[in-house]
Structure 1
Amino acid sequence: GFLAMVIAAIILILFLKKKRQFAAGAIITIFLALALIISLNLASQSGADKSGANNLINRVKSIFDLRSGSNKIRLYYWQAASQEIANASWQRLILGNGPETLDSVFVKYYRPEWGIYEKINTYPDRAHNLILDIILTYGLAGLLALLLFFGYLFYSAGKYLLSQNKLTQDDWLIAALLIALVGYFVNNIFSFSLTVAYLYLYLYAALIWLLVNQLEGERQFSLSLSLFSKIVIWTALLTVGWLFIYYQNVNIWLADFYYIKVKRAEVRADCQAIFTNLEKVVDYNPASTFYKEHFIKHYLNCFSTLPNQEDQIVLQDNVIAQANSIGSREYQYNTWLNIAHAKALFGFSLNADYYQSAEADYQRLIAINPYLTLAYKDLGRMKLWQKNYNQAIVYFKQALKVAPPLDHVALNEQHRQQIINEIVALDELLGMSYAGKQDFEQAQEYYYSALKLDPSYLPLYKKIADIYYQQNQLDKAIFFNQRGLMLNPGDYKWHLALALLYREKNNLLEAEKYLDQALRLAPESEALKKYEQELNN
């Protein structure tokens, strides 16, 4: 955007100074230079010097590097947008999909290679290109309207400036505003705007129009109204204004305020505060699909903390009510995913009849895009809850199959770690599935595979130790519990596990040592006190 503004400023100044030949030469030179830079960059080797001395050079090169980073993922987004436009019906092509709907478009086009250049399992809700965004959202009709509006604005401003023999201060302001708009539009060929940018865009457009069409004089007129008419008009204006401000500003602000409280309560793991504040959020902004979806997500995260089934049923009813309040046209991929997860959880804890509906929702998600790991992982977990281990294994392996490769040359450390986290989770679930089948050899294979990728992931040490315990290999079970203890010495459960294992080996001295350490960490634990009595007896 900034580079475009500089180029536009040079060309416009040359034109305004009546040096059009120089302006034409500048345009040709600039385009040739850009073409040369892009060509050289594409021809260069990918292993560029990343040293500090070359930071500026590498930054400039990265602007034109189409093979990696944000530029590469933009090309994927543009390719997906172009494919959607090419396959659109004539109605969609003319009128578009409507505002805030493009995540439902792009989710269909996600591929594993996207996870190399962006976070795994993520897809955009914008094309990162103004033209493509306009066509997808408002259709060719919307694009035509935009081009006519700003085309006429630029034409009027340019015609006005070129007609002036001597440029005034206002004329230079018009030129500066035009340059800013050029920078805005070029920037949005590679990005998108938020509300604040739109405010500036139309403010600049309004200023250009006013400066170009300044009236030489002012026309005044008077309108005679009775006192009653004035009271009615002012009352109506104030009422409408107050209602608009309250419902479109105050209520939304209050919903945001209470949602911030929800997020803070989430950090504290305070589910009661989450429930209380979420109720206020949806009361203040009941039309927001975003808040309804997050209502469902937060409630489900707190489901396991509820002490009795009656409370769980109340939570179930609240979640189902929120899900039903979301219009069918507002359902997006994450909406279906959250609702499917809710049904699976309710099937596990309350009523197994929910499982069938949950599976139908998961299959719908897989049909939307079979390259996302999310639905496979959740459906596999549901099968694990149902003790259908063979089906669980099928879905977890399918998720692994579509995970991005860890050895890709363009993969940066952040995205690599995100992929590792997903693979570790899937390996752990596969280990649990094989353990459920009593196939301990396969279970250990997946646990070790996960541990190789993430040696600090504590639950794996416990699961491996438990497998060895079930095989009566107590020494290996002790070894992996000790490894877990080394990584997390503040958790009394590791000490307790070792105490139990040493007791089973009839090594009471070691058992008492670890039990004493556990009691120091959790002196109020009734289970530890009971075990101490048993050990002493």
Structure 2
Amino acid sequence: MQQREIVDHPLRKWQETIWLLLAFLTPLFVNLWVEQQFEASKIWLLRTLIWLLVLLWFAGWMTNLRPKSLPTPLKTLIVILILILALSTAFSTNHFIAIFGTLDRANGVLTQISYFLLFICVATHIDATSSRRLLQVAIVTAVPITLFGLAQAAGWQPLPVITDARSDIITTLGRANFTGAYLALLLPLTFAAAQSTTNKLQQFGYGSLILLELIVIAFTQARAAWIAAIVGIGLLWWFQVAPRWPAKARWLSALAGIATLGTTLLLILQRGIANGGSIAARWTIWQASLRLLWPRLWLGYGADTLELHFPSVYPPQLVYYQGRGVVVDRAHNWLLDWLLNYGIVATLFFIILIFLVLRLGWRQLAEPKDGISQQLEVLPNRWVAACMAAACAQLVGNLFLFEVAATAVLFWLLLGIITATSLSPDLQTVPFALPHRARQVAVVLGCLLFSWAVWQSNLRPLLADSYSWRGTQALSQGNPSAALIAYETAVHHQPHRAPYHVAAALTAAQVGNFVQAEAAMAEAIALRPTDPVLYTQLAAIYAQEATVAPEKTDLAYGAYEQAIALAPTIGLTHQQFADLALRIGDEATAPQQAQQAVDLDATDGMAYGILGWAHSQSGDLAAAQTAFEQAVKWQPNLADFHLGLATVYAQQGDFAAAREALQHSLALDAAYAPALALQLQMQEK
């Protein structure tokens, strides 16, 4: 009777409601009224729900509802990990980002610790019935995601798509590879659900869903998702059958599987490097990240701070694989990301934690119980195997990717379920030593702390980002004054977010308020002093201001030089510097910076065009011709570069070639005044 009362306890029901909401809402939630519509919005939501879950856990503990106890090694590891993560944050180069994460990812140490808390709450409270219900809810999320993915593949795109991925199937996850990774995580669970029912209609439904998941994964064109899907299905089979094998057969099959997987991954890596593209980009990022790792091997740089440090080791060849101006904020390998964020000690403890959880699951698989699972109120082995297979599949897939909100939440929910299977299935009611009034005060204080934390960490960022979205909308409607007010409000709510200061600065410059623009950029740079992009944006503001105050040109030069000092191998910075020098007639700096740009990026048509005009102005017609030929090769749709080539041909007396180049220029822009002027000059000759 007492156990029945515990199961029906209101706090238990609220806790289950919250983790069901986490499993359902995290992958599906999209906020269309903020700038960060996908990942950050999901993080703000899930942190709020997890902290509410912790508050209920604490309230239950204070009202005599004692949770199940985690094994001592797991408790010790989690405490050690939280302490190391706190120490890493204390020594981080940017405390705010290390705590709260970047604006678009929001994956700071608060988020990582929230995942630990989610794991603890689920592992110490969930039972077999609730576990099955939670897994079913997670599987159900595949239905809208796969259907939405098919609709997007057919051309229906209701959401704003800004992606450099090969596929536009972003669904509600924000990117094609995130969609593929999440569906790969669900595949073993869907297979287990199909195995767990004898109802023919349900089996058909699950089979259809498995097919949909595989089709959408294929449409995402995400290699990491396919790797995770294959590993997940293979491990599901192995976890279901291997426990019945002799020990020698288990070991041999496990070693053979690991060897096969390792060989396959190496072949994929080798072929990907040779062919270029995303695999080559990841290999290049990994090599550069290792250069960053050694100086801060023990504690890392702090969570989510890679984008502040990667520019200093940016490999120039990366531009050929992922394009110009792409910010690298992840190593695209969970081991490297953990090492860079938190250091080698935390990474080792994290690996041990995962290993211990999987070992607990394996022990449960080694005890056959499917036939009497309902009577014992334990989770059937096929579900435990599915949870373990999905968790392992994510770890393998994230060797080429990184966790996002949807995959991370489900991953930690699965670890919690696996752990719960090894704990006593019964909760306890134990009288608490504190007086009743003291316990009430503790719960009230907990509620106040929860409210303050949610406001500061989740609601204020949400409010600020909504104003930033309003500013962007106002700019798109041609109302920069209203946009500036919106950005200033965003800064008010989140004064430590550099992107809001930058948005306010660029908008202020657009309306001619350069004093405010410079002040806002100074605030942004103070928040992120090692970010070269901020100095290029400051230089652009100075260059704009120099049209009315020529003395600002020296400040623009200084800002570009500082950006280059922080990140000397980014060709785009040299290109922008060269463009400014060309516009003000600096015949020494323009060709020097443009040449540096093309040396770093031999496909930069803009830099070649700038170099061509610089050489043309200095009278080096042969060098100008070579540069313009490269410019029109890599940037064939700009009339100005065809005009430059025509001008050089005309100056060298090759009027036939000049007329042909001029025709190309006028074909692109029939009203282009400089081209029409050259055409008139050539007609007079």
Aligned residue among 270, 284, 292 for 1:76? 284
- One-letter amino acid of the counterpart of residue 107, structure 1: P
What is the deviation of 1:382?
3.2
What is the deviation of 1:362?
2.8
Aligned residue among 541, 544, 559 for 1:342? 541
Aligned residue among 142, 152, 176 for 2:356? 152
| Structure-1 residue corresponding to 2:639 | 458
Q: Judge conservation of contact 2:638–2:665 (CA < 8 Å) in 1.
A: no
Give matches, 1:123-272, under 5 Å: 124-163=328-367, 168=373, 170-172=379-381, 173-216=383-426, 218-221=428-431, 225=436, 230=440, 236-268=445-477, 270-272=479-481
Change (3 A) 1:456 1:144: closer
What is the deviation of 1:332?
1.6
Gap regions ≥5 residues in structure 1: 42-60, 307-311, 405-418, 507-537
Q: Judge conservation of contact 1:110–1:372 (CA < 8 Å) in 2.
A: yes
What is the deviation of 1:350?
2.4
Q: Judge conservation of contact 1:11–1:23 (CA < 8 Å) in 2.
A: no
Q: Judge conservation of contact 1:128–1:189 (CA < 8 Å) in 2.
A: yes
- One-letter amino acid of the counterpart of residue 12, structure 1: F
What is the deviation of 1:73?
2.0
Secondary structure (helix, strand or coil) at the match of 1:316 reads helix
Does 2:263 correspond to 1:93?
no
Change (3 A) 1:340 1:466: same
Secondary structure (helix, strand or coil) at the match of 1:327 reads helix
- One-letter amino acid of the counterpart of residue 359, structure 1: Y
Secondary structure (helix, strand or coil) at the match of 1:212 reads coil
- One-letter amino acid of the counterpart of residue 292, structure 2: E
Which whole-Å CA distance do the structure 2 matches of 1:400 and 1:337 have between them? 18
Which whole-Å CA distance do the structure 2 matches of 1:13 and 1:479 have between them? 71
- One-letter amino acid of the counterpart of residue 458, structure 1: A
Which whole-Å CA distance do the structure 2 matches of 1:433 and 1:3 have between them? 55
What is the deviation of 1:23?
2.8
| Structure-2 residue corresponding to 1:67 | 274
| Structure-2 residue corresponding to 1:277 | 486
Which whole-Å CA distance do the structure 1 matches of 2:358 and 2:263 have between them? 30
Change (3 A) 1:235 1:104: closer
What is the deviation of 1:212?
1.8
| Structure-2 residue corresponding to 1:523 | none
| Structure-1 residue corresponding to 2:574 | 376
In terms of mean alpha carbon deviation, does 440-449 or 118-127 score higher? 440-449
- One-letter amino acid of the counterpart of residue 288, structure 2: A
What is the deviation of 1:125?
1.6
What is the deviation of 1:128?
1.4
Q: Judge conservation of contact 1:110–1:123 (CA < 8 Å) in 2.
A: no
Which whole-Å CA distance do the structure 2 matches of 1:329 and 1:80 have between them? 21
Give matches, 1:430-509, under 5 Å: 430-437=611-618, 443=624, 446-461=627-642, 484-489=665-670, 491=671, 498=676
Which whole-Å CA distance do the structure 2 matches of 1:504 and 1:72 have between them? 48
| Structure-2 residue corresponding to 1:426 | 607
- One-letter amino acid of the counterpart of residue 283, structure 1: H
Secondary structure (helix, strand or coil) at the match of 2:588 reads helix
Change (3 A) 1:246 1:452: same
Which whole-Å CA distance do the structure 1 matches of 2:570 and 2:480 have between them? 30
Q: Which has the larger radius of gyration?
A: 1
Give matches, 1:28-67, under 5 Å: 28-31=255-258, 33-34=260-261, 65-67=272-274
Q: Judge conservation of contact 1:14–1:20 (CA < 8 Å) in 2.
A: no
More RCO (CA 8 Å, sep 6+): 2
- The one-character-per-residue Cα deviations of 1:16-36 (angstroms, maximum 9, x if unpaired) are 224444433433443454566
Q: Judge conservation of contact 2:578–2:593 (CA < 8 Å) in 1.
A: yes
Which whole-Å CA distance do the structure 2 matches of 1:329 and 1:403 have between them? 26
Secondary structure (helix, strand or coil) at the match of 2:274 reads coil
What is the deviation of 1:324?
2.6
Change (3 A) 1:344 1:457: closer
| TM-score calculated relative to the size of structure 2 | 0.57
Which whole-Å CA distance do the structure 1 matches of 2:629 and 2:427 have between them? 83
| TM-score calculated relative to the size of structure 1 | 0.70
Change (3 A) 1:35 1:481: closer
Q: Judge conservation of contact 1:37–1:64 (CA < 8 Å) in 2.
A: no
Q: Judge conservation of contact 1:103–1:125 (CA < 8 Å) in 2.
A: yes
Q: Judge conservation of contact 1:462–1:484 (CA < 8 Å) in 2.
A: yes
Does 2:590 correspond to 1:392?
yes
Which whole-Å CA distance do the structure 2 matches of 1:501 and 1:176 have between them? 72
What is the deviation of 1:15?
3.0
| Structure-2 residue corresponding to 1:8 | 235
What is the deviation of 1:138?
0.4
Question: How large is the Cα RMSD of the aligned pairs?
Answer: 4.0
Gap regions ≥5 residues in structure 2: 1-227
